[in-house]
Amino acid sequence: MKILEHIEAELQKQSVALALYAVRHDNRTPVEEITVPLCDNVEFTLGNARFCVRLFATPATFGGTLLDIHFKILSGTVDNASLGVCAEFTKWSRDEWVFMPACVYAGNRFRRVTPEDMQNPAPDPESWVTLTRDLGLNPGDGASRIQVLAGDCAAPCAGILSPSAQRGLLLLSTQGSGYGDLGIHVEENETRSHARLLFKSPGVREGAKYNVANSRFRDADAGACFSGGDSLTLPLLVHTFPATTPEALYKHFVRLRKTFGPHRERHDLPFETAFRLIEEKHNRENWIESYGYWSVGMRESLPQDWQSGWVGGPNTMWPLFLRGDACSTGRALRVWDFVAEHAVTPSGFLKGSFTKGDWGNAPERCYMRYSADTLYFLMKTLLHLRVGPPHIEPNETWLSLARGLCKAFTGCWEESGHLPHYADARTGHVIVGGSCAAALAPAGLALAARYFDEPGYRTVAESAARRYRDNFLAKGITNGGPGDIRQNVDSESAAALLESFIILMEESDGAPEWVDAAVRAAAYCATWVTSYDFCFPPASTFGQLDMLTTGTVWANVQNKHAAPGICTL
């Protein structure tokens, strides 16, 4: 088949060979593996079963080649088996960029640090200080592999960027088959000179699986029992292309990620009705009259009370202020009184979590996500009050709060040349760098420059945004957005950075630099968005509700959570 010959020739440019793959397990450990050439009408034996494979190849609409691989069992039986494809890389190195959307970036090959390490100052602005509890390729010596299922990713996809060959490869499939969910595995040899990328159905992970910050979670993955007359179909999109950066990989992924649609839509609840339900709930259950704020949740724990950004606080007040009723609007403005009176530290940055009169979670250090979010939503509020409704003059304490945050951010930038992850609550000095936690700060500073007529704020906003663009986005990641993951890779910092680029674009009348940066950030953001409707187990709550997942946004690679929108911009 000429199409297969073309695929083979293109893959050779990346030193990759694609083959059919079959494996038999003892419990979850492979005990027999078969690879045969990728061609039509080939036969092989696994265990006591004889298989025949039919292969059909067609050009894909948006690039690459669609393969329909049909495995048929001619005779015999085999237990605990999986079928699929193997991409074998014969010129591999630690520099290969391994990508699985919302699951793996740069192979998750980051330096592991402990929570204790994070307590020590690490002001080097060039270091990527990343605390990861999730699965990843080994940054050191020894065994190195990643084994996940399709449901661990925003799309059943894996990509490899080979910098030395200046080539990229994307493999994309569906969630799985009637035998179970697809497994996606990457395995390196001891010297990191050779690797395999496996798509196998059903997926069987050896040993433990990763489950919400726990890489030792035990689960009973199992292969399928095949006997004469059974069949399994694996649809596979293969796309290989010139690429020199992770962003090039994302650009192709965005175009291909919905290949295996279509997607359903459901119109059960108008947005206006949904908003009123949420507003009524917040005013009834979450409002704390004694302090004047809406709590994050029902105050059953410290994080469920007040937070100065991220999942609540100013982020909650903005939509309630902008679209809420008269009660919500008045309460939203009272939130700024609480922040100005209670949350400000001597550095000008903000404390984070508050409950029952106590600021917990190391108040001597300031997490920059909180201050960046607050500055942005405060400046949005102040600018809106100029045009109304409501038509009121801002309190001087709100203006002092805004100026103090701007001074803290500009001072930190001028001192260290970057915006850190943690800063000292007394001095504003950097405690830990290597993060995009403050990715929304450029947006807030740019708006403050217009509001206060302070060009210096705009200068720092643009400089900080360029650093995020060149030191993080250009390297294929943003990190540090959610406080619970420390400096792991995430979507929230990506969305914040995109908003900063958009604000700078608007404040500069569409300067090409910021249009280009926003387009690049949007492509990266798209890697965190689910591109298909996951089939939940029929007996599960989501299965019974026929829950749709297309368009949900994954928070980060650590906590395996996808919500209907970005958290919480």
Q: How far apart are CA 189 and CA 286, in angstroms?
A: 53
**By three-state DSSP, how is residue 416 classified?**
helix
**133 confidence band (pLDDT: 50, 70, 90):** low
How far is Cα of residue 484 from the mean position of the Cα atoms in its chain? 14
For residue 537, count other CB atoms closer than 10 A to its CB: 9
pLDDT at 552: 96
- pLDDT surpassing 70 at residue 1: no
Least confident of 191-195, 203-207, 396-400: 203-207
Residue 532 burial by CB count (10 A; 0-12/13-18/19+): exposed, middle or buried?
Answer: buried
**361 confidence band (pLDDT: 50, 70, 90):** confident
How far is Cα of residue 220 from the mean position of the Cα atoms in its chain? 27
422-424 β-sheet, strand order: 365-367, 422-424, 430-432
Report which DSSP code applies to 483. Answer: G
Q: How far apart are CA 333 and CA 311, in angstroms?
A: 18
Residue 305 burial by CB count (10 A; 0-12/13-18/19+): exposed, middle or buried?
Answer: buried
Q: Which of 517, 518, 442, 528 is nearest to 492 (CA)?
A: 528
Average pLDDT on 533-551 reads 95
pLDDT at 529: 98
Domains of the chain: 2-118+145-256 (no CATH), 276-563 (1.50.10.20)
Q: How far apart are CA 52 and CA 226, in angstroms?
A: 13
- The stretches of 417-533 forming alpha helices (DSSP H) are 441-452, 455-471, 492-507, 512-526
Q: Give the pTM.
A: 0.96
Least confident of 54-63, 204-213, 358-367, 443-452: 204-213
Segments of 306-367 assigned E as strands: 306-307, 353-355, 358-359, 365-367
Give the pLDDT confidence of 70-90 residue by residue, as tens digits. 999 999 999 999 999 999 999
β-sheet bridge partners, residue 20: 36, 85
- pLDDT surpassing 70 at residue 132: no
Contact 73, 44 (CB under 8 A): no
Residues 6+ apart with CB under 8 A from 358: none
- H-helix or E-strand spanning residue 145: strand 144-149
pLDDT at 251: 97
Q: How far apart are CA 287 and CA 235, in angstroms?
A: 51
Give the pLDDT confidence of 225-267 residue by residue, as tens digits. 999 999 999 999 999 999 999 999 999 999 999 999 878 888 9
- pLDDT surpassing 90 at residue 455: yes
